Every structure is written in C-alpha cells, then in structure tokens.
Structure 1
Amino acid sequence: MPPKTAVTRAMVEEAAFDIVRAAGADALSVRAIAEKIGCSTQPVYTACGSIATVREAVGARCKIVAETFMRTGRGGEPPFLQIGIGALRFAHEEPHLFRLAGEFMRARLLDPPPEAVLAAMRADPALCQLDDAHLRRIHALMWIFAQGLAGLVGPGAAEGALVDAIAYLRMAGRAVVAWELNPANNTS
C-alpha cells in the first residue's frame, strides 16, 4: 500500500486557486479539490474545515493577484492610467480571477478609492490640482468604464481587443478629466 500523503491547508488552497483560475469560482468544490490533490474529501475538510474557509483564502489570493496587475500597468503612462491598463490586462489574462475580483471591487464602488489609487491620481500631473471630491468622481466614472471594457477583452475577444480597449480607456480618461477641470462643470 502506498504511503498516505498528508494534506495540508496550503495544498488545499493551492489546488482551489488553480481550479478557480482555470475554470471559475463555480467549479470550486471540495470534491474538485480532492480530485486535484488525489485524495478523498475528508482530508480536505480536515485541513481547512469548510469550503467557505477555502473560498475566503482563494478570494484573498485573488485580491493579491488583482493588486499586482493594477500596480504593473504600463511604464510611461500616467500613474492612474497604469492602474486602468493593469485592470484591463487582468481581465484579458486572468478572466476567471477577474470575475471573482469583480465581486469585491463592485461592493466598494461608492467607497472612496483606496489610498494607493488616490496616491496614483495625485501623482498624475493632470489630476494633482483636483480636490478629493473630483478625484472620487473621476475614479468612479473610470472604474465603471474600465469594467465595461474589461468585459470585451476576456475569452473570445477579437484579436487586438486589448490594444483597442486601452486606447478607449485613454480617450475616456482624457474626456472625464477635461470635464472635471472645466470650472463650468464644477458641481462639488
């Protein structure tokens, strides 16, 4: 009889993340994790307690991946645009993780932008003169626009869709910033 392999929490979380990355959050189950590891379901439960705990761990790791994409947009672009480009790349390269990340990102739409995003906006020469109310509005509008574009660059997207989406993001950003910079539009 072959020796039993001890199933660890790290093994379960790694398998779960791989499943979600490849097939989406709906594919995640204790049975799928057990099959991926090569064990029965009991060691999975023993290592992690419940599928809810595993989902939390996958969500936390997904958030880290999302933040990594957002921080690594494209050099030479203004900092806030780099975040948007990173979001589009994330949607294009990791569509299942992007959908999962969308669940926690949508819940925060009406919240102020994260401090790292505000810092990127304040570092942008076109935005640094605006107050926080203007920055929040720009962030919300560009987030909504980027989410729409992200839906167009995922699986099945036409060749060049990501390049086109980045160009549209850049154009929309210029229009939104121009609107906010125009004193006649000052509604804050």
Structure 2
Amino acid sequence: MRRKVYTKDQILKAAYDVISTEGFSKFTARNIAKKMGISTQPIYLEFKNMQDLKNTLVETVMKDLHENAFPKPHTGNELIDLGINYINFARENRNLYVSLYVDEYGGGELMHQFSYDYFKNLVKRDPAYSHLNEDQIALLHESTWITVSGIASLMSSGIINPTEEEIIKLIERAIESTLDSKAFKAL
C-alpha cells in the first residue's frame, strides 16, 4: 500500500488555518494534524519541531504581507499607505492579526521587527524623509505604529469604524506632530 505524502506547504496551510481561526494558543502538532486528518508524524518529518514550524509560518505570512498586503497604494504617500494597509489587514483578518501582533504566543517581536524594517525601508526611499537619522526613524515609527495599532485594534474589535479619509487624517496628524516635536528635532 502506498503512503500518502504531505508536503511542507500543506502543513503550513493547515497551520495558517489554525492560527487564523483559533490563534497561537491552539498552535499544536495535534491540532494541525487534526485539521489535516492525519497523525502528527508528517509534521515532524517536515519540520524539526513546532518552533521551526512557527518560524516558517510567520516568515511565510511576513513575505505575503511584504509582497501583497502592505504595498497597496491609496494616497501616494507610502507611509500613510502602509498604515492604511496595516489597519485593513487587521480589520479583514481579525483573528490572524490578533494571533500575529497581539497574542502572547504569537509572532510579536518578529512581526514588530518586520514592520519596523518595512517602515524604515520606505522612509529611506522617500525623498521627503530620506534625510532622517536612525533615531528619528525609530521615533517616527513608534508614533505611527502606536496610532495605526490603536486604530487597527479598535476597528477589529468593532469599537470604532472610521472612514479611510478619517484614518488618513489620523496618520497624517501622527506623522506631522512627531516631525514637529521638540524631542524629534533634538535627535
């Protein structure tokens, strides 16, 4: 009798389904195998351990965000567009957003670093911001990150429902107030 072979991609898809519906707290080999209707053995044949699977999954999601979600144009200002896209991702993929960015078992630090690196790359490419030093970029990221994360969390929870125009104004205000602040200018 021939054995059925399960690919790394099939396992990653099942793992993605688990975190996007149930969160990282349910991210176990048993739950992923159950989702696929298999034993846990194929998972451990493809991945060293669950941390390896988790890292691969988070890297796969980061690649998708980098290539498909975050670069969508809205306003022509890539920093504002990134904020809008981050918020849209949170609103359209609530459970996945919480799993990756909020959940204590999630991608937390990896996702934060990924988002910072993506932001920093945009800043360095944009002539309006390319003169900023590393500390200024970090402060600008922090202020916009707090703003868009707050909006994303409140929207994904259904507490607020601002229009895209209102979101743009909030992000613009965060950027402008940071650039005009004494703390920013002192860096």
TM-score range, shorter chain: 0.7 to 0.9
Q: For residues 105 and 11 of structure 1, do their structure 2 counterparts lie closer, same or farther at Cα, with a shift above 3 Å needed?
A: closer
Contact 1:19/1:28 (<8 A) preserved: yes
| Residue aligning to 2:104 | none
2:146 to 144, 160, 178: 144
Quick check: 2:70–2:85 contact (8 Å CA) kept in 1? yes
Q: 1:138–1:176: 8 Å Cα contact kept in structure 2?
A: yes
Q: Does 1:6 align with 2:8?
A: no
RMSD value over aligned CA atoms? Answer: 3.0
Deviations 1:26-64 (A, max 9, x none): 222112211221112233333334222211111111222
Q: Which runs of 5+ in 2 are unaligned?
A: 102-107
Tell which deviates more after alignment, 124-133 or 147-156: 124-133
Within the candidate set 170, 173, 185, 2:172 is matched to 170
Cα separation, 1, equivalents of 2:132 and 2:95 = 35
Asked whether the equivalents of residues 15 and 33 of structure 1 are also in contact (C-alpha less than 8 Å), the reply is: yes
- Kept after mapping to 1: 8 A contact 2:23/2:95: yes
Give the structure 2 partner of residue 34 of structure 1.
33
TM-score of the aligned structures, taking structure 1 as reference length: 0.75
What is the Cα deviation at residue 135 of structure 1?
2.8
Aligned length: 178
TM-score, normalised relative to structure 2:
0.76
User: In 1, Cα distance between the equivalents of 2:18 and 2:184?
Assistant: 48
Distance (Å, rounded) in 1 between the aligned partners of 2:31 and 2:112: 28
Matches within 5 A, 1:58-69: 58-68=57-67, 69=69
Give the whole-Å Cα distance in 2 for the aligned partners of 1:123 and 1:49: 38
Which runs of 5 or more structure 1 residues have no equivalent in the other structure? none
- Please point out which of 109, 128, 137 is paired with 1:104: 109
Distance 2:71 2:87 in 1: 12
Deviation at 1:82, TM superposition (A): 1.4
Say if 1:60 and 1:162 are closer, same or farther in 2 by CA, change over 3 A.
farther
Aligned residue for 2:84, secondary structure, equals helix
Q: Which residue identity does 2:24 align to in structure 1?
A: A
CA deviation after TM superposition for structure 1 residue 126, in Å? 4.5
Task: Out of 116-125 and 21-30, give the one that drifted further.
Answer: 116-125
Opposite residue 118 of structure 1, the aligned amino acid is: K
Overall identity of the aligned pairs, in %: 20
Q: 1:31 to 1:161 in 2, by over 3 A?
A: farther
Deviation, structure 1 residue 86? 1.6
Structure exhibiting the larger radius of gyration computed from Cα positions: 1
